[in-house]
Chains A and B, each alone.
Chain A
Amino acid sequence: QKEVEQNSGPLSVPEGAIASLNCTYSDRGSQSFFWYRQYSGKSPELIMFIYSNGDKEDGRFTAQLNKASQYVSLLIRDSQPSDSATYLCAVRTGKTSYDKVIFGPGTSLSVIP
């Protein structure tokens, strides 16, 4: 079983809709969870970080974490064509700054105008 799993997509949503991206992880000791956005041919950039169970909102983005189910999701409200990108889920295990961050394979999102 891969450590961090995501649906590869592509996920297509109409402009203005809610895009829902999902991620599961295998290590119950995982501490921190990240969503990175990567445009085609570009490098990943952090868009959301979540540490505690529940929801965290930042503008049109909401990250949801359920540690008991080992599940983290990203909701994008009022999706825009500029949101079309690959979204990488990343998980940090352990509690020290030296711990590695494991990335999922990414979900490709396409927002249709």
Chain B
Amino acid sequence: NAGVTQTPKFQVLKTGQSMTLQCAQDMNHNSMYWYRQDPGMGLRLIYYSASEGTTDKGEVPNGYNVSRLNKREFSLRLESAAPSQTSVYFCASQWIAGVGEHTQYFGPGTRLTVL
């Protein structure tokens, strides 16, 4: 199993450009998440999808859109990139191992720089 995969691993954009970050998981998990990680800020939730066909906003959704294409894939789109969106982006999927035990498995991350 590949687990959670993300593409691309690195990306440099100019202000105003658009791009889509791809995420896929092969663990048959229902829930998937997009986070951004900035120095000293920890992981902040952008959007999540509790199940195929549903998406909800997280803590920092402005400037982003998502699509849950199917159970495996959850993409994140930046329509008009801004320097404030320079960050490391992590996708995760969640498995419920037991009562309260919601384990998240993370992809390797995408390092995005917006100039």
Interface residues of A (CB under 8 A from B): 4, 8, 31-32, 34, 42-46, 49, 51, 88, 90, 92, 97-106
Count of A-B residue pairs with CB < 8 Å? 59
Tell whether, in the assembled complex, residue A97 and residue B102 are in contact, meaning their CB atoms are under 8 Å apart. Answer: yes
- Known A44-B90, A44-B106; 5 more pairs at CB < 8 Å: A4-B42, A43-B106, A46-B103, A105-B40, A105-B42
Determine chain B's interface SS by DSSP, over half rule.
strand
Bound together, the chains give a CA A51 to CA B41 distance in angstroms of 25
Bound together, the chains give a CA A14 to CA B83 distance in angstroms of 40
With A8-B40, A44-B43, A104-B42: A98-B50 Cβ-Cβ less than 8 Å: yes
Q: Which residues of B contact A104 (CB under 8 A)?
A: 42
B60 contacts chain A at the CB level, 8 A cutoff: no
Bound together, the chains give a CA A10 to CA B34 distance in angstroms of 27
**Chain A: CB-nearest residue to B108:** A43
